[in-house]
């Protein structure tokens, strides 16, 4: 048996030649997910690269990814033991934590808390919807001010505040004004979080770079600082919650998590007080950046394709009318809008590679042996741009998700891969889709968005855990009267 094992281990996975010390670090380019997809054409869907001292297996395409994350779900459920991952949520992160018995309990609590404050029943769904509607209305007011007299503005910060306010309301029962300077500074720094934890970041691959001044070292130090700062913000809120905690009244997610972990009857077994802050910090981080990035792309694509924008507006006017705002209940009537959102997720694949995984045991995928504790990158972009699966994958075409009768093709929407799959699948997928739908529907019901004719909207973006549009400005014009907003 040992002989067979040694033979397997010595059979190197296919992959590009790795240079000493740096490995393939210099070959990743500005958009590693695209480089990885190109390498898959040469080496197959499962291959190996090196980043500094780390050997990394890259998984591409639906078949290999499904085989790994679903068929061998436990073997691929780990997270690498990266130094930066330990800095998140005071070292008690569920998102960045390894696969253990405690982690399973931690994830279960986070998952049921999200559900309890969103989709659990019609009452919680309505409360959740009210938070989003409130933020969407506020966002429109700010956009109309910024866009007055056809001024062009970058929407990034306002989208970040709107998305952060929804999750802040859920976690703490609190929201912030769009011009709150402290909140603005805090969120501005968090924006950089994904650059360090995204697949291909060199901070963990070459720890020796931290020994002398260079961009990787400053990235590392900034990362440490922004995590501490954000964690202090969350800890402060949790302390206030503990002081005013009443077991009879669950005000928000923080109360719910304090209740389960600190006052629970066995459910929070093994989790400590620090896991409360860790969980809330995780939810705040995961729930904010992704939604604001999604909305950023939504606006960019709406101004890039004005005909699509008009088509959605006409549909909303027909199905919802001008007398009230769109609601979650309207979703089934607005199939083209849902198709637009799925196409935005597929086309941009704005979380192109999941958070890095690691193997929890030796495992074989598509005939390739992968040892325990190997870092694994899951290339979601490759699934969404597979030419065998999607007709003209590089063309933005929402109608691809509708059948001849204009009904959403669920097999196809389920094939879009942006929330990952298996044991680490995103636990915020439902609330994410609801938020993106409601924000987009309400924004388009009330406003028309236009790009600066002198500055054609470009798909340029910066790479990290999420892809973020760069240098994109628009203006917002009110459709109809402002009265719509108070109806
Ligand atoms: C993890 C995508 C919104 C909570 C993830 C992962 C992806 C993802 C790709 C990593 C999965 C993996 O490593 O295999 C997205 C996208 C979103 C979104 C595209 C928005 C469009 C949210 C929201 C929340 C959330 C709103 C919660 C409030 C989480 C958590 C994890 C996670 C807690 C960690 C799961 C784990 O490690 O077990 N998400 N997410 N996400 N997401 Fe989301």
The residue whose CA is least distant from atom 38 of ligand 1 is 424
The reply to whether ligand 1 has any atom less than 6 angstroms from the CB of 241 is no
The b/e string for 454-480 (b: 16+ C-beta within 10 A; e otherwise) is eeebeeebebbbbbbbeebbbbbeeee
Q: Who's near 40: CB < 8 A, 6+ residues apart?
A: 47, 58, 60, 61, 379, 382
Q: How far is the CA of 428 from the centre of ligand 1 (A)?
A: 6
Residues of the chain above pLDDT 90, percent: 75
Q: Given the CA of residue 431, which atom of ligand 1 is nearest to it?
A: 26
pLDDT digits (tens, 9 = 90+) for 233-282: 999 999 999 999 999 999 999 999 999 999 876 555 688 999 999 999 99
Whether the per-residue pLDDT at 127 is higher than 60: the answer is yes
The Cα-based distances of 289 to 150, 341, 350 in angstroms read: 28, 17, 11
pLDDT of residue 159: 96
The Cα-based distances of 463 to 95, 173, 295, 428, 467 in angstroms read: 20, 32, 17, 22, 5
Query: What mean pLDDT do residues 200-224 have?
Result: 77
Whether the per-residue pLDDT at 4 is higher than 70: the answer is no
pLDDT of residue 215: 76
Q: How far is the CA of 472 from the centre of ligand 1 (A)?
A: 25
Q: How far is the CA of 419 from the centre of ligand 1 (A)?
A: 6
The closest of 251, 273, 252 to 261, measured between CA atoms, is 273
Q: How far is the CA of 355 from the centre of ligand 1 (A)?
A: 9
Q: How far apart are CA 487 and CA 324, in angstroms?
A: 6
Dump the DSSP string for 85-148: HHTGGGGT-STTS-S-HHHHHHHHHHHHHHHHTTTSSHHHHHHHHHHHHHHHHHHHHHHHHHTG
pLDDT of residue 265: 60
The reply to whether ligand 1 has any atom less than 6 angstroms from the CB of 428 is yes
Q: How far is the CA of 244 from the centre of ligand 1 (A)?
A: 30
pLDDT digits (tens, 9 = 90+) for 6-56: 555 556 799 999 998 889 988 899 999 999 999 999 999 999 999 988 899
The residue whose CA is least distant from atom 13 of ligand 1 is 355
Backbone φ, ψ for residue 17 (5° rounding): -60, 135
Query: What mean pLDDT do residues 439-448 have?
Result: 97
Mean pLDDT, the chain, whole residue set: 91
Reported ipTM: the value is: 0.99
Q: How far apart are CA 140 and CA 336, in angstroms?
A: 22
The closest of 437, 418, 431 to 333, measured between CA atoms, is 437
CA 237 to chain centre: 24
Residue from 425, 428, 436 whose mutation best tests the ligand 1 pocket (most atoms within 8 A of CB): 428
pTM of the predicted protein model: 0.95
Q: How far is the CA of 150 from the centre of ligand 1 (A)?
A: 36
Q: pLDDT grade, residue 481 (50/70/90)?
A: low
pLDDT of residue 225: 87
The Cα-based distances of 140 to 148, 286, 484 in angstroms read: 12, 24, 11
């Amino acid at each position: 048996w040992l002989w067979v094992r040694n033979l397997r281990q010595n059979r190197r996975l296919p992959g590009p030649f790795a240079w000493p010390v740096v490995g393939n670090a210099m070959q990743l380019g500005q958009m590693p997910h695209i480089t990885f997809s190109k390498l898959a054409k040469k080496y197959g869907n499962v291959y190996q690269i090196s980043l500094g001292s780390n050997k990394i297996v890259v998984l591409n395409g639906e078949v290999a990814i499904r085989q790994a994350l679903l068929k061998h779900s436990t073997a691929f459920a780990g997270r690498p033991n990266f130094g930066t991952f330990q800095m998140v949520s005071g070292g008690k992160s569920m998102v960045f934590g390894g696969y253990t018995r405690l982690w399973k309990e931690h994830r279960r609590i986070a998952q049921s808390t999200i559900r309890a404050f969103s989709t659990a029943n019609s009452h919680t769904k309505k409360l959740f919807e009210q938070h989003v509607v409130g933020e969407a209305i506020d966002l429109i007011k700010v956009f109309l001010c910024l866009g007055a007299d056809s001024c062009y503005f970058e929407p990034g910060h306002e989208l970040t505040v709107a998305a952060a306010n929804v999750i802040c309301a859920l976690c703490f029962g609190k929201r912030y004004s769009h011009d709150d300077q402290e909140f603005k500074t805090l969120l501005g720094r968090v924006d950089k979080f994904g650059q360090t934890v995204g697949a291909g970041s060199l901070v963990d691959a070459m720890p020796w770079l931290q020994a002398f001044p260079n961009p990787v070292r400053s990235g590392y130090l900034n990362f440490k600082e922004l995590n501490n700062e954000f964690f202090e913000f969350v800890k402060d809120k949790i302390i206030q919650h503990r002081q005013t905690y009443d077991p009879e009244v669950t005000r928000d997610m923080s109360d719910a998590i304090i209740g389960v972990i600190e006052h629970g009857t066995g459910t929070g077994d093994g989790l400590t007080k620090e896991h409360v802050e860790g969980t809330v910090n995780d939810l705040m981080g995961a729930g904010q950046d992704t939604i604001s990035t999604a909305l950023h792309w939504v606006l960019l694509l709406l101004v890039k394709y004005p005909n699509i924008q008009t088509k959605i507006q006409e549909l909303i006017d027909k199905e919802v009318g001008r007398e009230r705002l769109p609601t979650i209940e309207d979703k089934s009537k607005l199939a083209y809008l849902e198709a637009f959102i799925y196409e935005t997720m597929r086309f941009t694949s704005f979380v192109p590679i999941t958070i890095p995984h690691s193997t929890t045991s030796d495992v074989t995928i598509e005939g390739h042996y992968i040892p325990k504790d190997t870092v694994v990158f899951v290339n979601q972009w490759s699934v969404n741009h597979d030419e065998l699966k999607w007709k003209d994958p590089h063309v933005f075409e929402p109608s691809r998700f509708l059948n001849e009768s204009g009904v959403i093709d669920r097999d196809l929407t389920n094939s879009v891969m942006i929330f990952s799959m298996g044991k680490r699948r995103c636990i915020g997928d439902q609330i994410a889709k609801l938020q993106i739908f409601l924000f987009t529907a309400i924004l388009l019901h009330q406003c028309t968005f236009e790009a600066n004719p002198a500055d054609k909207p470009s798909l340029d973006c910066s790479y990290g855990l999420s892809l973020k549009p760069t240098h994109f400005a628009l203006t917002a014009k009110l459709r109809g009267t402002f009265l719509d907003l108070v109806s």
